[in-house]
A and B are shown apart, each in its own frame.
Chain A
Amino acid sequence: MSTILLIEQVLNGLQSGIMLFLMAAGLTLIFGVMGLINLAHGSLYMVGAFAAAAVAAATGSFVLALVAALVAAAAAGAIIELVVIRRLYDRDHLDQVLATFALILIFSEGTRWVFGSFPLYLDVPAALSGPVTLPGGILYPAYRLLIIAVGLVIAAGLFALIAKTRIGIQIRAGEADREMIAALGVDISKLYTMVFALGAALAGLAGALVGAIQSVQVGMGEPVLILAFVVIVIGGIGSIKGALVGALLVGLTDTLGSVLLPIFFASFMDQSSATAVGSALATMSIYILMAGVLLFKPTGLFGKA
């Protein structure tokens, strides 16, 4: 296996990891601040992708499409927070799981109803559709590099938001003691709606960015949601840093596993069974990673005990 291929795959792993981070960050924020498990987060990812595809088809502008994804997902997030989610903060996790599962059914079938069952396509903007040459002569798609860059910028922005700004302080205070900050005069329900909309916007952005590489279709958010759960379990619930580390670990393991494991097995098996065993094991690799983390740190790498 050549070094170039390996570096390419590492970049692919980074790219999928950083998109997972955008999903996982929202989930973990919402859990950390409101104590809510939100299964419908994948639906917000889907909403973002569909909004982007619809706006791109109407206007032809990729930038407008991204803006639409952010706005649509944030709006959808704010609406479900106001109508449904805020009734769930005091409920047990079972109720939260069920209500958000119900939201998935409504979102998925609603989207199918509006857009039909056929996938939509969102094109990568022409300026970014070609490859760029990286040091060492590696050709890599410009768009995927852009995704990595955008993801890193957003990650940095999120860390700054949480660590430096007034809202960040309120969010952290909300995690620690919600009664206290309510008593100090912070409008807690407004803060909750804002955090939820922020998480939703991140998910919607991820959906739109990934939607340009894959197809935009109903149910696209669900595999990503489950990967994001794995990320959070590995990283530790409520920790943004954990979400970043977990997302990169999962992205790299998943991508490299599916490339390297078949090659590894081919070294001592015949090609067709090596491909079968290797790819089957590769699909399980991130869960094995999760199981390993659970054995040693049941609350995740950066979770509070």
Chain B
Amino acid sequence: MISERTVNIFLFALLPVTVLAAWLLDEPFIITLATKAAILALAGVGLNIALGLGGLVSFGHAAFFGLGGYAMGILASHAQSYAPLMEVPFLIEGTKSMPVIWLVALVTSALAALAIGALSLRTSGVYFIMVTLAFGQMLYYFAISWPAYGGEDGLSIYVRNGFPGLNTLDPVQFFLIAFAVLTVGIFLAWRLARSAFGLALSAARQNAERVETVGLGPYRIRLVAFVISGAMTGLAGALFADLNRFVSPTMFSWHLSGELIVFCILGGVGRLYGPVAGAMLYVLLEHVLGGLSAYWHIYLGLLLLLVVLFARGGLIGLLSGREVAHE
């Protein structure tokens, strides 16, 4: 068995090393795949705060991913057409600047997570799963039926948004942006898990009554965690939309919520690098199996079934044994 720390260092280094190799071999498509993996990993790291640390099985995180995506799509499409978002009571114009878009994506998805979380966390267990799923679907249908921003067809952005001092059209530079954001996300998740708040959140997962007895409110702790989790997934959504230069209601679809959970599980539930490993494995499988067969979801389904039934520690558990998450 390899220690979890070694596995983590390996996982962390894998993406930049892959990109370096792809850059040397002049394979821009591989760089795009690695960027996709980094962005999906960020979404998974976000979900893992609620799922792994808080034990909140949210089947609606696509809501935040999609909101982040639409934050980018709406702002950039207004900048593209030079039509302001609104003029009264004050002027808001579109923008092509990534940092501004990120901020809007973070705030929007955090607010949505606050509203959805406040309602969903009144329930627990299976109810929580179904309620988060339902709210995610609500936004999905809303995005389809709201004609202003493309409806079912989605929005295309012609040129990728800019980042001060960098050329985002260069695949390597865009990868570095995504990877830097992922690194910050992982660092935050790591700090959070070790902080007093993270300990309280973990405790609320293990024994909510006891947490209440020592004078902490599990509801509020969970709600804060849900908001942080949703915001991080929303940021990933904005980056994902920028990667594709396209946003559509499928970013809200419940398949995406399911896939985000799959990342966490394939990698190893409750482990800091679980979603990173899971997202990389997923992108790899999608690419390799998808190339072999148009019906690759069958194999993905079978693999997932085997992992759930027989290998519950996921990929990291397979490599480093089943000791506790978060060293």
Given contacts A106-B298, A233-B134, contact A283 B126 (CB under 8 A): no
Number of A residues, CB within 8 Å of B? 42
Write the nearest CB–CB distance from B256 to chain A, whole angstroms.
Answer: 12
A233 touches B127 (CB 8 A): yes
A232 touches B309 (CB 8 A): no
A283 touches B145 (CB 8 A): yes
A103 touches B142 (CB 8 A): no
Q: Is B325 an interface residue (CB 8 A)?
A: no
Write the nearest CB–CB distance from A31 to chain B, whole angstroms.
Answer: 7
A230 touches B134 (CB 8 A): yes
- Chain B residues with CB under 8 A of A287: 134-135, 137-138
B142 touches A84 (CB 8 A): no
A298 touches B265 (CB 8 A): no
B308 touches A99 (CB 8 A): yes
Which of A102, A112, A230, A282 has a CB less than 8 Å from the CB of B304? Answer: A102
**Scoring A residues 222 to 246 as 1 if CB is less than 8 Å from chain B, else 0, what string do you get?**
1000100110110001000000000
Which of B57, B119, B138, B148 has a CB less than 8 Å from the CB of A97? Answer: B57
Q: Is B75 an interface residue (CB 8 A)?
A: no
Number of B residues, CB within 8 Å of A? 43
Q: Is B131 an interface residue (CB 8 A)?
A: yes
B302 touches A102 (CB 8 A): yes
- Chain B residues with CB under 8 A of A226: 133-134, 137, 254
- Chain B residues with CB under 8 A of A97: 57, 59, 129, 261
Q: Is A139 an interface residue (CB 8 A)?
A: no
Q: Is A58 an interface residue (CB 8 A)?
A: no
- Chain B residues with CB under 8 A of A105: 297-298, 300-301, 304
- Chain A residues with CB under 8 A of B159: none
Chain A residue nearest to B254 (CB atoms) is A226
Write the nearest CB–CB distance from A266 to chain B, whole angstroms.
Answer: 16
B57 touches A276 (CB 8 A): no
Chain A residue nearest to B261 (CB atoms) is A98
Given contacts A106-B298, A113-B295, contact A279 B145 (CB under 8 A): yes
Write the nearest CB–CB distance from A105 to chain B, whole angstroms.
Answer: 3
Complex Cα distance A280/B261, Å?
Answer: 28
A284 touches B129 (CB 8 A): no
Complex Cα distance A226/B254, Å?
Answer: 9
Q: Is B14 an interface residue (CB 8 A)?
A: no
**Scoring A residues 50 to 90 as 1 if CB is less than 8 Å from chain B, else 0, what string do you get?**
00000000000000000000000000000000001001000
Complex Cα distance A290/B122, Å?
Answer: 13
Complex Cα distance A167/B297, Å?
Answer: 38
Given contacts A97-B129, A226-B134, A230-B134, contact A298 B305 (CB under 8 A): no
Given contacts A99-B305, A226-B134, contact A94 B126 (CB under 8 A): no
Complex Cα distance A294/B146, Å?
Answer: 26
Complex Cα distance A279/B146, Å?
Answer: 8
Q: Is A10 an interface residue (CB 8 A)?
A: no
- Chain B residues with CB under 8 A of A84: 305, 309
Tell me the A235-292 residues at the B interface (CB within 8 Å): 237, 276, 279-280, 282-284, 287, 290-291
Q: Is A184 an interface residue (CB 8 A)?
A: no
- Chain B residues with CB under 8 A of A294: 119-120, 122-123, 131
Complex Cα distance A33/B312, Å?
Answer: 25
Q: Is A123 an interface residue (CB 8 A)?
A: no
- Chain B residues with CB under 8 A of A298: 122-123, 127
Chain A residue nearest to B144 (CB atoms) is A283
B297 touches A295 (CB 8 A): no
| With A222-B254, A233-B127, A294-B122 already in contact, 10 other A-B pairs whose C-beta atoms are closer than 8 Å | A84-B309, A93-B129, A94-B269, A102-B308, A108-B297, A237-B127, A280-B142, A282-B145, A283-B138, A290-B131
Interface pairs (12), CB distance under 8 Å: A84-B305, A97-B59, A99-B308, A106-B302, A106-B305, A233-B130, A237-B127, A276-B146, A279-B145, A295-B122, A298-B122, A298-B127
